[in-house]
Structure 1
Amino acid sequence: MKLKKQKRHRRSVAFFTTCYNFRAPFKILCDGTFIHHLLTNHITPADTAISNILGAPVKLFTTRCVIAELKSLGAACTDSLNVARDLAPARCDHEKRKSAVDCLTDVIGEKNSEHFFVASQDADLRKQLQEVPAVPLIYALRNALFLETPSPSQQQFAKSAEEERSHVSELELKMLLNMTKRSSTEDEAGDSAQADDVSTYNIIKDLKKDAARRNTDVNDRVQFKRKRAKGPNPLSCKKKKKENQKPVTKQESNENAESIRSRSKKRKRSRKQKIPTSATD
């Protein structure tokens, strides 16, 4: 799969997951044309091929009307009929057999409450389902599968839905009005209660003053602990010198220096050349 195609598919899948709450494993509703195309072009297994496009596991579905339509086509579609019978059945409440187009449109409905991806090779059916807000469409071209980008009507529906979510509904407005009325009544009651509290506070204050004059045990002032000055930070102070170390006197230092000098000096011996004695002597 090319990189541009993969990015386009990811964007469309992200659109449907965020705006219309699609969740993996995705449900793929297939018609007879799509199944027949997969078999003739050897796109097998179909679930892995579709999952590679969507980037998530999938589960394939079909309806009883689609199976009946494939059965009516005769021996040319026996293989696709056998494959369709192996797929999971989607709920189809039609007592009499309908065409695949009518059956799929009835199953999808107006809002696609079951969150189906529709896989079909019928261009007219895909155009019809593009007007439905939450229907992603899959089709095939030869050996490749494609996911259609969201139509302008689907994008416009998603924007309008977001705007409606941001605005306040009528029920929420009624709830807000009731809350404001209750808060206003509570504030009036609270003001009256606050006035009563002030009067009682003044009475208690006068009683405390009288008790202080009579030297009673009532304390009208709160006693707080005084903050004491703390010592300096030990990390910022210099380390104290140890007292055990005795100071070195000048005499001792001079004696040490003379001893070092005497050691360094070496005695130089003079070696005189010995004169060889003659044999006559």
Structure 2
Amino acid sequence: MRAKRAKSYRKAMQFYQQAFGFREPYQILVSPDFILAGVSRQIPVKARLEEAVQGQAKFLVTHCGISELLKSTSDFRSQAITVSKEFEKRRCPHQEPIPGLDCVREIMGEENKNNYCVAVQDDDLRAKLRAVPGVPILHVKQSVVVLERKSQVAKDASRQIEKDKLGLSELERSMLRAVKKQANEAKNEKRKKKKKNAGPKGPNPLSIKKAAKKPQVVKATKSSQEKSANSVPATAPAVATSGTKRPRPEGDASVPAKKAAAVSGDVTATEEGAKHKRKRNRSAKNRGTTNDSAAASQVPPS
């Protein structure tokens, strides 16, 4: 088998494992027409079926299928019976044998409860099995055993199974509905308590013209006037008006004496300054004469 085909078959069987719980060894229910088709093309049926499912397999054939091979008039009848004897016998509920395809159809039913893979050649039976979710179908094409692609029914069933796994159960949903109902009732009660009767509505405050503010006039009370009068001292002199001199308080004879002392002090200070100036001038003249005599003594005679 080519690597690309083997990889696609492996992915398909992994899908059936994850979605529907298939496990190795896979149980393959083989119909009598598939055995005849494989023997007629000289295909090793067991080996090719294990290659198709990419794993170990257990092969099953019904009693109705064996009886059909025994009654067959095909040239490969004896070889097909020999191959079927290597398979495990699947018990079926039929006391009288029926056609092998009808027996396979009844065993599969509407649900693949036993996780069977079905190897069958009949087109009508394969079409009916595609409507059953989770059925890997195998058939012989030329000289190769082919595993069919996943049907749309199988894909939809796997999505639903995933939703059921991730979602809530019916009991959990009922409990959740009860909790939500209680929460809504408690919320409604709180809203009723908070709601108050609205009083008469007043005019729009933006449409009302604001009244102009009047200047506030502070009126002096009698008590404040009395306090201000009491705070002024009785001996305070009258406030002098412009153009008049402030009267000197009586008995203050120290002012002329202070002025006279200041004047006499200024006179003595000026006299002392004049004396010091005369001394500086005399010392400067003396230094000048000494310098001239020293210079004359240093000049050599001509």
TM value normalised by structure 2: 0.55
Q: Give 1:110's aligned residue.
A: 110
Equivalent AA in structure 2 for residue 68 of structure 1: S
Q: Do the aligned partners of 1:65 and 1:99 also contact (CA within 8 Å) in 2?
A: yes
What aligned pairs does 1:107-146 form with structure 2 within 5 A after superposition?
A: 107-146=107-146
**Alignment of 1:66 onto 2:68:** no
What amino acid is the match of 2:28?
I
- Structure 1 gaps, min length 5: 181-281
Mapped contact 1:91–1:107 kept (Cα < 8 A): no
Letter in 1 for 2:63: R
Kept in 2, the 8 Å contact 1:9–1:147? The answer is: yes
Q: Do the aligned partners of 1:8 and 1:149 also contact (CA within 8 Å) in 2?
A: no
Q: Take 1:66 and 1:155, find their aligned partners in 2: how far apart are those partners?
A: 31
Shift of the 174–28 alpha-carbon distance from structure 1 to 2, 3 Å rule, reads same
* Contact 1:47/1:59, CA 8 A, preserved across alignment: no
Cα pair 1:43 1:143 within 8 Å, conserved: yes
User: RMSD of aligned C-alpha atoms?
Assistant: 2.2
Partners of 1:75 and 1:63 in 2: how far apart?
19
Q: 1:31, CA displacement in angstroms?
A: 0.8
Judge conservation of contact 2:28–2:59 (CA < 8 Å) in 1: yes
**2:71 aligned partner, one-letter code:** S
For these two proteins, the number of residue pairs brought into alignment is: 180
Aligned-partner Cα distance in 1 for 2:60–2:17: 20
Matched with 2:47 is 48
Q: Distance in 2 between matches of 1:170 and 1:141?
A: 46
On the 8 A contact 1:64/1:89 being kept in 2, the answer is yes
Aligned position for 1:28: 28
> Which string of whole-angstrom CA distances, capped at 9 and with x for unpartnered residues, describes residues 247-266 of structure 1?
xxxxxxxxxxxxxxxxxxxx
Please say if residues 121 and 140 of structure 2, whose CA atoms lie closer than 8 Å, have aligned partners that are also in contact.
yes
For residues 116 and 91 of structure 1, the distance between their equivalents in structure 2, rounded to whole angstroms, comes to 14
Q: 1:124 to 1:75 in 2, by over 3 A?
A: closer
Q: Contact conserved, 1:63 with 1:92, CA < 8 A, in 2?
A: yes
Encode CA deviations 1:56-75: one digit per residue, 9 max, x unaligned: 11111100111111122236
> What is the deviation of 1:176?
6.1
Give, in whole Å, the separation in 1 of the partners of 2:2 and 2:175: 53
Where does residue 196 of structure 1 map in the other structure? none
Identity of aligned residues (%): 28
Report if the CA contact (8 A) 1:30-1:62 is conserved.
yes
Shift of the alpha carbon at 1:3? Answer: 2.8
Please identify the structure whose Cα radius of gyration is greater.
Answer: 2
TM-score normalised according to structure 1 size: 0.59
* 1:98-125 Cα distance to aligned partner (Å, 9 max, x none): 2122110111122211111100111111
Secondary structure in 2 aligned to 1:60? strand
The alignment status of 1:2 with 2:2, answered yes or no, reads yes
Residue 127 of structure 1, CA deviation? 0.8
The alpha-carbon deviation at position 142 of structure 1 amounts to 2.3
- 1:149 is the counterpart of 2:161: no
Structure 1 window deviating more from structure 2 (67-76 vs 123-132): it is 67-76
Q: Name the SS for the 1:117 alignment partner.
A: strand
2:151 and 2:74 map into 1 onto residues whose CA distance is 37
In structure 1, distance between residues paired with 2:5 and 2:40? 23
Q: How does 1:215-230 map to 2 (within 5 A)?
A: none
Q: Distance in 2 between matches of 1:173 and 1:14?
A: 32
Which whole-Å CA distance do the structure 2 matches of 1:75 and 1:148 have between them? 27
**Alpha-carbon distance between aligned partners in 2 of 1:32 and 1:170, rounded to the nearest angstrom:** 44
* Correspondence for 1:57: 56
Mapping of residues 152-171 of structure 1, within 5 Å: 152-171=152-171
SS at structure 1 position matched to 2:146 = strand
3-state DSSP of counterpart to 2:22: coil
- Cα shift at 1:27: 0.8
CA distance in 1, matches of 2:177, 2:160: 26
Instruction: Report the 3-state secondary structure (helix = DSSP H, G, I; strand = E; otherwise coil) of the residue aligned with 1:13.
Output: helix
- Structure 2: which amino acid aligns with 1:66? G
Q: Report deviation, 1:174.
A: 4.5
